[in-house]
Structure 1
Amino acid sequence: MRQFTQKAFSAVVALALASSLTACDKEDEATKSTATTSEAETTSKEANTEAASAEADKIVIKHAYGESEFKPAPDRPVAVRNAVDALLALGIKPVAFVGLESELKQPWRKELLKDVEFIPYDDAALEKVLAYKPNLVIGDQWVVGQEFYDMVSPYAPVVAPKNKARGEGNDWHYRNEVLGKIYGKEAEAKKVESDYKEMIEKAKADLPNLEGKTVLSADFIADGTVNVVVDPDDPSYYLFRDLGMTVPQAVKDDLLPQTDYGRVSISYEQIHYLDADLLILGATGMSAEEAYAKLDEVPGLKELPTFQKGHVLLDEAGANNQAMSKPTALNREWLLNYVRPYLEKIGR
């Protein structure tokens, strides 16, 4: 029988321990491998769940220039020019407003913007906007063209026009709907729409004879011409169109075919085209005093039936350039109240 010396015993024990440790190491490695695999699978599942959740949280809005992805209820919106009203109408204050001084002071929004940072709309605006780290930028179809979108979209998602066409689909109704989705305020957005429809229906009930009446918006220009909005579907006429009004037939027949963008400049010799049931007359490039002087200078103007009946609204408040030509969710009621005394004359 083989005898085990202490040295031999120690060697056997060492060998056994080594074998045991090797086996344990293998088991540990197997265990670790299993644990690592399990952890990896768990991490992968969690990552997939988080990714799926993040993907589900994304709100994708398709538009004329592609699509934009927004996180729900962005907390750092920046509004450019008149599109700010779309945010304000839903009770959302932007971190900054980019616009003109005159836009900042418009009566339907000035109180709502008094605590909002103002950025002048100029060549330095983009750099200033990015300093606010916006996670939503919104502008209307007059501002957000391809160039604007290409400049801003690499830094922040943009609420861009639905299509590249002028007018329908790019109006305040579209911006109201999109913001309702992004901010989870669909109910509030629907109320904005229903309030507007209710306002229109009430006005039509109060003024039943507005249906079929004519309206015309025109500006005296400093160069001696008159700029006339001739397209009945121009945004300037949205409110009046909803009330059942349109532009005079002679304007549709003679002037509308001359333009692709809804406006025509006429000479003082063509002043007869300004005869409408309601004429909203403004001025560009001249003072109010100079504009009033034009009323006496232009031959035949005051002889028009619309002047004789007192149906001329002299646009001292600038509604023609703001509330009329740039319709928003906030300025519809203001505009209706502004023109209401004249609508009363022709609509009862």
Structure 2
Amino acid sequence: MTINQNLFSSLHSLLKMQMYKAIHLFLVGVLIFATASGCSGNISDSTTNRHSPALSNSPPTSTRVVEHAMGKTNVPVNPQRVVAIEPCSLDHALALGVKPVGTSHHYMKRLHSDETVEGIEDTGHPVDLEKVLALKPDLILGNAWAADETIYDLLSQIAPTVIVEDKNGSEWQESLAVYADALGKGDAAKKIVEAYYTRLEEFKAQMGERLQNTKVSAIAIYPTGFDLYPESTYIGSILKDAGLPRPPSQSQFSSESNRQLHGLSKEHIPDLDGDILLILNVNSPDTQEALKQLREEPLWSQLKAVQEDRVYGMELYSMSCGPIAVNSVIDDLFKYLV
């Protein structure tokens, strides 16, 4: 009888949480609609694009159509108040020379200097729609992992919203092109990509014959297991463009099979090895705790990279997905390999 009562209590609590979440989203939607109606008066019935902004508290501006992961959206030609709802879109915007008025402060200061992000308001993690609304943006940028269709529809009632879908960060150049289109920064995006390949060519030249003989393993470690990062991931795509070979454990997986490389147990420690071992997000408490545990494992001490003292830590940027983080990764490649 006690088990049934506990089960009923747990289910009841879960249902209450789901109900409160649904009510919150409903109330936020009502608030957005009410604010939009009050600011803009009547929304023209001729508007056929459901992603057109409902808010219009400023004089009409010229717009153009931008295609993105959620469809097509009319965006202002020269947006002045941009909100980036997660770290990746923030990275892209800053790289393109646009400082958003709001973003999620979650991880923000670990990816960028205080001076760079000074004055950017916090929009919460996950995104807080009321905070976004209060900033009165004229353009919202984001990644699909931070905005499902329900959140996207609500954001679109606040301002034109452009979403990219790059869940593992390997398509950062495609995301950059979309954001650049939305921000009117196409020329800046081309220069960023050109500079990226120029730096990698310089790296290859300095590596010389060592390039093809240096297998690089990229991993994340946790107290509960390990993740491996093949070519179809963010850092994997950079290592591939740099011409660096990967260990067999990380060179034979497509994006569809990446899940096979997550949450690996201690028995897979040999799969972590390479001539160089890069540990992502090394300064996090979880990573430090995991390193402490690994050093007590006999299999860890047998790794070639460990024996040759070629294990290097990379900061959180190594798990990001924008041009600024990309260049930080390349900085480390020069530092550790050249």
What TM-score, normalized by structure 2, do the two folds share?
0.72
Report the Cα offset of residue 291 of structure 1: 3.3
CA distance in 2, matches of 1:85, 1:293: 32
User: Which SS does the other structure have where 2:331 is aligned?
Assistant: helix
Give CA-to-partner distance per residue, 1:267-322, whole Å, 9 cap, x none.
2222111111221225698556533422321122112111112221134xxx2xx3
CA distance in 1, matches of 2:215, 2:60: 51
Structure-2 residue corresponding to 1:127: 130
CA RMSD of aligned residues (A): 3.0
Change (3 A) 1:151 1:109: farther
Structure-2 residue corresponding to 1:104: 109
Report the Cα offset of residue 207 of structure 1: 1.4
Structure-1 residue corresponding to 2:172: 172
Identity %: 25
Which consecutive residues of structure 2, in runs of 5 or more, have no partner in the other structure? 1-58
Report the Cα offset of residue 74 of structure 1: 0.9
- Does 2:142 align with 1:139? yes
Structure-1 residue corresponding to 2:206: 206
AA partner of residue 309 (structure 2): G
- Does 2:232 align with 1:233? yes
User: Which SS does the other structure have where 2:299 is aligned?
Assistant: coil
Report the Cα offset of residue 127 of structure 1: 0.8
Change (3 A) 1:93 1:312: same
User: Which SS does the other structure have where 2:79 is aligned?
Assistant: coil
CA distance in 2, matches of 1:269, 1:112: 43
Give CA-to-partner distance per residue, 1:132-172, whole Å, 9 cap, x none.
111111113432333332231122111112x577655xx33
Question: Is the Cα contact below 8 Å between 1:109 and 1:330 reproduced in 2?
Answer: no
Of 271, 289, 295, which aligns to 1:273? 271
CA distance in 2, matches of 1:212, 1:262: 26
Change (3 A) 1:129 1:135: same
CA distance in 1, matches of 2:295, 2:222: 15
Change (3 A) 1:257 1:111: closer
Question: Is the Cα contact below 8 Å between 2:233 and 2:255 reproduced in 1?
Answer: no
User: Which SS does the other structure have where 2:329 is aligned?
Assistant: helix
CA distance in 2, matches of 1:139, 1:191: 22
CA distance in 2, matches of 1:185, 1:258: 32
Structure whose alpha-carbon radius of gyration is higher? 1
AA partner of residue 325 (structure 1): M
CA distance in 2, matches of 1:304, 1:64: 42
- Does 2:323 align with 1:329? yes
User: Which SS does the other structure have where 1:151 is aligned?
Assistant: helix
Change (3 A) 1:215 1:112: same
Report the Cα offset of residue 115 of structure 1: 2.3
Q: How many residues align?
A: 277
